[in-house]
């Protein structure tokens, strides 16, 4: 019996031996600095009752000042946050020296996210005392707290925060959408609410691609040069055989994708297929420095008993200090087999959680001696999606198993 087998032998109800379920301990949380990844996806994940309210300006400014001082002097704060905090403190000092700046600038500092100090791009959440957090930072704080096995708290006032304790602040969201913002291409100012359309459809400097991209023209450049380029583009006058070469190259990349889907379809015709909903629950190792990992209760598929384990950032020591978030997982066979069991397996989004995972098929031959796969990546689209999973209490996915028969 391997070490992992012993550790996981506690069964689902008791949890793995020597571990405690994560997320029950209450600690004094210090908000680690989330990245500025706001992300509409994160916002969409939090479709909760909206509750408009106005922040207490004086309290907010004071608390933020406090937070900034703390962060600037906190050697444990992530470098990015320390830097930002230092910059912001400098800017605040300059603004104070110059008296009050323009109304827009003053509003900017009132309406910005109290964690990343950026103006929120999507939903804005507030703690019970009214401190504002952009959706990305809010999700990140909840995910961090889970990684550290602490109750998530507002970085400003330390009150508890959670999806049910915090509500959205529509007034701030609307006010932010009215504030001017600079187009990244032409550098002109627009109300935030109009900026997206401007950058996508109207800006003369936005980056565009040649319409002959489909036959291999690599040109891209500002929109105002597009007509000139397309008139002069050499691609439409290429000969058939030249185009054939270009198309061959493009076909190759499509072929790879097709291979994946074809192999899924051929797996679907196997005699023995099983699938089940799996629920990963958070646990802590009992090391000196505890680590978060996830494990499912035992489940039965293809008449065998299995367990799935998952870990964050490949068990990196302090995953909460990094903005990059990944999950990897391992499939363990818990029952004894009379003959080697060759399987293909893949994890996909289940019916109960909305997360974007690209399908990757893994392969393993299970025997009584070798009954666990290596940790393989769970190909989640990006860190924002990954944080969405970590912020939730449990991770719900669906496992497919295909038994390969000789
Ligand atoms: Zn933020
Ligand atoms: Zn607060
Ligand atoms: Zn523009
Ligand atoms: Zn072209």
Q: What is the pLDDT of residues 77-105, one digit of tens each?
A: 444 444 455 555 555 555 555 555 788 88
Q: Are 113 and 43 in contact (CB under 8 A)?
A: no
3-state secondary structure 163-210: CCCCEECHHHHHHHHHCEEECCCCCCEEEHHHHHHHHHHHCCCCEEEC
Q: In angstroms, what is the span from residue 140 Cα to ligand 1's centroid?
A: 9
Query: Which ligand is the nearest neighbour of the Cα of 216?
Result: 4
Measured from the alpha carbon of residue 205, the closest ligand is: 3
Ligand nearest to the CA of 189: 3
The DSSP-derived string for 209-267 is E-GGGGGT---EEEGGGHHHHHHH-SGGGS-HHHHHHHHHHHHHHHHHHHHHHHHHHHH
Q: How crowded is the C-beta side of 38, counted as CA atoms within 13 Å? A: 17
CATH class of segment(s) 122-196: alpha beta
Q: Which ligand is nearest to the CA of 246?
A: 4
Centre of ligand 1 to C-alpha 310, Å, is 28
Pick the CATH number of 270-401 from 2.60.210, 1.20.1250, 3.90.1200, 3.40.50: 2.60.210
Residues with CB under 5 A from ligand 3 (ion): 183, 185-186, 203
Q: Is the pLDDT of residue 6 over 90?
A: no
**Nearest-CA neighbor of 28 among 116, 166, 157?**
157
CB atoms inside a 10 Å sphere around CB 232: 8
| 249 CA → ligand 4 middle, Å | 17
Strand partners, 126: 132, 167
Ligand closest to Cα of 218 equals: 4
Query: What pLDDT is stored for residue 324 in this prediction?
Result: 80
Cα-Cα-Cα-Cα dihedral of 296, 302, 304, 309, to 10°? -20
Q: How far is the CA of 348 from the centre of ligand 2 (A)?
A: 37
**How many whole angstroms separate alpha carbon 389 and alpha carbon 401?**
23
- Please tell me the number of the ligand nearest to residue 131's CA: 2
Which DSSP category does 288 fall into? S
Band (75; pLDDT cuts 50, 70, 90) = very low
Query: Do residues 77 and 85 make contact, with C-beta atoms less than 8 angstroms apart?
Result: yes
Of the chain, the percentage scoring pLDDT greater than 70 comes to 75
Whether 367 contacts 341, CB under 8 Å? yes
pLDDT in tens, 221-255: 999 999 999 999 999 999 999 999 889 988 988 89
User: What is the DSSP-derived secondary structure letter of residue 97?
Assistant: H
Lowest mean pLDDT among 33-37, 166-170, 200-204, 398-402: 33-37
Strand partners, 208: 221
Classified as helix, coil or strand, 348 is strand
Q: Which ligand is nearest to the CA of 122?
A: 1
Distance 395 CA to ligand 2 centre (A): 27
The CA 311 to ligand 2 mean position distance, Å, reads 30
Expressed in angstroms and rounded, the spacing between residue 193 Cα and the centre of ligand 1 is: 18
Domain assignments of the chain as residue spans, ordered by start: 122-196, 203-237, 238-264, 270-401
What pTM does this model have?
0.56
């Amino acid at each position: 019996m391997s070490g992992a087998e012993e550790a996981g032998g506690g069964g689902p109800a008791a949890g793995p031996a020597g571990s405690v379920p994560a997320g029950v301990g209450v600690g004094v949380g210090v908000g680690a600095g989330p990245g500025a990844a706001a992300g509409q996806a994160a916002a969409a994940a939090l479709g909760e009752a909206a509750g408009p309210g106005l922040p207490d300006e004086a309290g907010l400014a004071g608390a933020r000042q406090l937070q900034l001082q703390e962060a600037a002097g906190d050697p444990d704060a992530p470098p990015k946050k320390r830097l930002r905090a230092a910059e912001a403190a400098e800017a605040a000092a300059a603004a104070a020296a110059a008296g009050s700046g323009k109304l827009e600038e003053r509003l900017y500092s009132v309406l910005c996210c109290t964690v990343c100090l950026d103006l929120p791009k999507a939903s804005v959440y507030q703690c019970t005392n009214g401190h504002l957090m952009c959706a990305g930072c809010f999700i990140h704080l909840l995910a961090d707290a889970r990684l550290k096995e602490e109750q998530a708290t507002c970085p400003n006032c330390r009150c508890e925060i959670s999806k049910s304790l915090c509500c959205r602040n529509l007034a701030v969201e609307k006010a932010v959408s009215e504030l001017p913002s600079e187009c990244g291409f032409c550098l002109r100012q627009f109300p935030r609410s109009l900026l997206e359309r401007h950058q996508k459809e109207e800006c003369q400097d936005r980056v565009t691609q040649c319409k002959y991209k489909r036959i291999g023209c690599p040109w891209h450049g500002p929109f105002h040069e597009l007509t000139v380029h397309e008139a002069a583009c050499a691609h439409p006058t290429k000969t058939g055989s030249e185009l054939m070469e270009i198309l061959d190259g493009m076909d190759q990349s499509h072929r790879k994708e097709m291979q994946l889907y074809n192999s899924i379809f051929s797996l679907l015709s196997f005699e023995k297929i099983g699938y089940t909903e799996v629920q990963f629950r958070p646990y802590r190792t009992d090391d000196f420095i505890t680590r978060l990992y996830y494990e499912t209760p035992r489940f039965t598929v293809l008449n065998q008993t299995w367990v799935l384990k998952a870990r964050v950032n490949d068990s990196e020591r302090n995953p909460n200090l990094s903005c990059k978030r990944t999950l990897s997982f391992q499939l363990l066979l818990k029952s004894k087999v009379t003959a080697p069991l060759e399987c293909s397996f893949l994890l996909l989004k289940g019916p109960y959680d909305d997360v974007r995972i690209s399908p990757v098929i893994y392969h393993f031959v299970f025997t009584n001696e070798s009954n666990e796969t290596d940790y393989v990546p769970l190909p989640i689209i990006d860190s924002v999606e990954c944080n969405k999973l970590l912020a939730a209490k449990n991770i719900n996915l669906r496992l497919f198993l295909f038994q390969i028969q000789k």
